[in-house]
Amino acid sequence: MADRSITVIGTGTVPGGAPPPVAGADLVVGAARHLAAAGLPPGVRQVVLGPLAPALDAVAEHVAAGRRVAVLASGDPGFFGIVRALGARFGAAALDVRPSVPSVAAAFARVGLGWDDAVVVSAHGRDARTAVNVCAAHRKVAVLTGPGAGPAELGGALARTGVARTLFVATGLGGEGESVVRVSPAEAAGRAWGDGVSVVLSLGGPQESWTAPAARVLAGPAGPPAQWALPEDAFEHRDSMVTKYEVRALALARLGPRPGELVWDVGAGSGSVAVECARLGAAAVAVERDPEGADRVRANAAAHGVDVQVVCGTAPGALAPLAEPDAVFVGGGGAALGAIVAHCARVVRRRVVVTLAAVDRVREVRLALASAGLVTDGTLLQSSRLAPLPGDVTRLAAANPVFVLWGTRPRAFASKGTPL
């Protein structure tokens, strides 16, 4: 086995912990607060972690010269930490990893909660919209924050969704200035938290559910539902104004909802598509112009135990304030269909799916998708369900044919700077 010349030490999350063991190291790399707490002897070279590339170059220089290197990191450096970057550069065999208590574990411990059922997402040096969408969709989340994606930005974005969440902001874990503060998203948005890495716990649902006992087998949130494209009677609806399950199955397959993404359901009706996207782990916004319909969407989301942001308003105007979607479902028709699809096609990051019954609207929808640079495709879906006849026999009952059209962005979406 190759000499483990780089010792990676987790530190800083245990109150009153001993200084990290860096004796014998010629180079010590870490955040300023970790270096200050290490009590380094004179003559030891120090590199303060900022941009990663210069630090890795310094490590490479010392390793090539046969010198010992210590790298200090918060908590468990193998959990969203520097171990991955060091392993990619120097190989796992060069690393002697000595983890401490992960910062996420420490944050949950401070508030007295288990975390084997939590979703953990990093916004440190990453696109914060993923963390926002995960917090909006899941009811037990830990977010590792960073500059530009801190508790204030996260809280502000969550407050705009209207989805009820309680936040615990844990800063300086293990240090003299450790703080764990319970705030609402709006309160988090109104405070100054600094640029350091913190852990934000985002919790939803009744408070008793945060500690509800459960027989856990797999860590993390509950897995995907055993069934999707649910039958129509799984949703409260009016006059059969609900997307039929055969159509919904194809729409969901094309939408591809997944954790960390945001899906719009425009002209939501019963909200069946939004609810199913939420059940599959995506954040979902249902836009419905009828107030009774909007209440119906809320009731369906509650019945299925998911959170859906409901916007009662008329598209396309009601779409303008919404956060940038990854995928959009547009159901139904109406005089504004072309304008609605055009707006959605301009702002979507990945795909727009449209269902409609009228053949006259197909060309309009395809043009709206293509004009925004999306690659269009589609199918005419015709299905027949088994139906009983007298005499204990069965016939096929044909449903109305439905066009399912979609437009796909052919390359990675270049964000236009839409705020979180």
Same domain, 283 and 239: yes
Digit-coded pLDDT (tens) for 89-107: 999 999 999 999 999 999 9
Q: How confident is the model at residue 1 (pLDDT cuts 50, 70, 90)?
A: very low
Among 101, 129, 155, residue at a domain's last position: 101
Element spanning 377, H or E:
strand 375-381
Choice among 220-234, 289-303, 351-365 with the minimum mean pLDDT: 220-234
Is the model's pLDDT at 276 over the cut of 80?
Answer: yes
| Both tokens assigned to 52 | 């990663």
Same domain, 47 and 143: no
Give residue for tokens 């999707």: 228
Look up residue 37 and give its amino acid: A
Same domain, 288 and 383: yes
Is the model's pLDDT at 21 over the cut of 90?
Answer: no
Q: Residue 19: inside a domain, yes or no?
A: yes
Indicate the average pLDDT of the chain.
Answer: 91
CATH at 81: 3.40.1010.10
Structural domains of the chain, count:
3
| pLDDT value at residue 159 | 96
Neighbours of 297 (CB within 10 A): 29
Same domain, 249 and 391: yes
Among 152, 176, 210, residue at a domain's last position: 210
Helices (H), 83-142: 83-90, 103-110, 128-137
Same domain, 114 and 10: no
Which residue, 293, 231, 246, is CA-closest to 265? 293
| pLDDT value at residue 4 | 80
Contact at 8 Å (CB) between 408 and 354? Answer: no
Per cent of the chain over pLDDT 70 is 96
φ/ψ of 90, rounded to 5, equals -115, -10
| Bigger pLDDT: 240 vs 374 | 374
Same domain, 157 and 81: no
Same domain, 301 and 366: yes
Same domain, 272 and 290: yes
Q: Residue 25: inside a domain, yes or no?
A: yes
Digit-coded pLDDT (tens) for 40-79: 888 889 999 888 999 999 999 999 999 999 999 989 999 9
CATH at 170: 3.30.950.10
Q: Residue 331: inside a domain, yes or no?
A: yes
Among 81, 101, 121, residue at a domain's last position: 101
Q: How confident is the model at residue 168 (pLDDT cuts 50, 70, 90)?
A: very high
Q: Residue 137: inside a domain, yes or no?
A: yes
Same domain, 397 and 271: yes
Is the model's pLDDT at 11 over the cut of 60?
Answer: yes
| pLDDT value at residue 412 | 52
Give residue for tokens 């483990």: 4
Q: Residue 223: inside a domain, yes or no?
A: no
Is the model's pLDDT at 383 over the cut of 60?
Answer: yes
Q: Residue 221: inside a domain, yes or no?
A: no
Q: Residue 125: inside a domain, yes or no?
A: yes
Same domain, 387 and 310: yes
Q: Residue 215: inside a domain, yes or no?
A: no
Mean pLDDT of 242-252: 95
Choice among 229-233, 239-243, 252-256, 321-325 with the minimum mean pLDDT: 239-243
Same domain, 292 and 387: yes
Same domain, 131 and 86: no
CATH at 263: 3.40.50.150
What CA–CA distance (Å, rounded) separates 385 from 249?
15
| 109: containing domain | 104-210
